[in-house]
Amino acid sequence: MRRTAMLLGFSLILGACGKREEVTATETRPTTMRDENLQLDATSDERFKEGRPAPATSVETPPSPVVAETVPEGWKAAPGSSFRLLNYTFGTKGEAYVSLSRGGVLENVNRWLGQFGAEKLDAAGLEKLKPIEVAGFKGVWVSVDGDFGGGMGKAAESDWSLRGVVAAGPQGILTVKMLGPTVEVTSEDEALKAFVAGLETAK
């Protein structure tokens, strides 16, 4: 069904050979969403303001399938996000967080290794990693040191380390990732193990 056409009319004053002549021009076109709340007398400021995107709203942190019964001393709780269900910082640049990811265990392990330019694993290599079970999720421990290639809003860094767990469960892939300067991450190795051991299924 053809939408009602909008009739546009305006007058042009044309000057030619010293004479002024009033010419009326008309044009029709289908109405669009841009015609809604049309203000012919709006200022340029108002028109530009109307075309600006609305400011981004904060995304609420989704419910976590696990809760932390033990938070290591020196770890400071940081705001969560749709990607970080539990989020902490420590030291100067260290961070540890819990996330849910897609894919499989091997895929996520290799994604972490790739962030350090480390050689990827195959299925046989994955079986050699230390197994771990966290609140019903079964997976492996991951440890890598070297130069962090950056990504996800982070700059590349030298002498960095990653420690963590990638585990599969009913809700997907649970990851517990600790990342930061090598000296800070290695000093928190035992704290991370205690944190992981204290993760329990959310009720």
Q: 44 pLDDT band (50/70/90 cuts)?
A: very low
91 confidence band (pLDDT: 50, 70, 90):
very high
pLDDT of residue 20: 56
**Mean pLDDT of all residues in 34-47:** 46
Query: According to the model, what pLDDT value does residue 108 have?
Result: 98
Q: What number is the average pLDDT over the span 155-159?
A: 97
pLDDT of 184 > 90? The answer is yes
pLDDT of 98 strictly over 60: yes
Reported as a pLDDT band with limits 50, 70 and 90, residue 151 is confident
Query: In this predicted structure, what is the pLDDT of residue 68?
Result: 96
User: pLDDT value at position 9?
Assistant: 39
Which has the minimum average pLDDT: 8-17, 31-40, 88-97, 188-197?
A: 8-17
Give the integer Cα–Cα distance in Å for 76 and 95.
9
Say yes or no to pLDDT of 23 above 70: no
Look at 1-10, 80-89, 130-139, 167-176 and tell me which has the smallest mean pLDDT. 1-10
**Residue 128 pLDDT > 60:** yes
Greater confidence, 29 or 174? 174
- Average pLDDT over the chain reads 81
Reported confidence tier of residue 48, pLDDT bands at 50, 70, 90: very low
User: Once rounded to an integer, what is the mean pLDDT over residues 177-203?
Assistant: 97
Query: Residue 82's pLDDT band (boundaries 50, 70, 90)?
Result: confident
pLDDT at 45 > cutoff 60: no
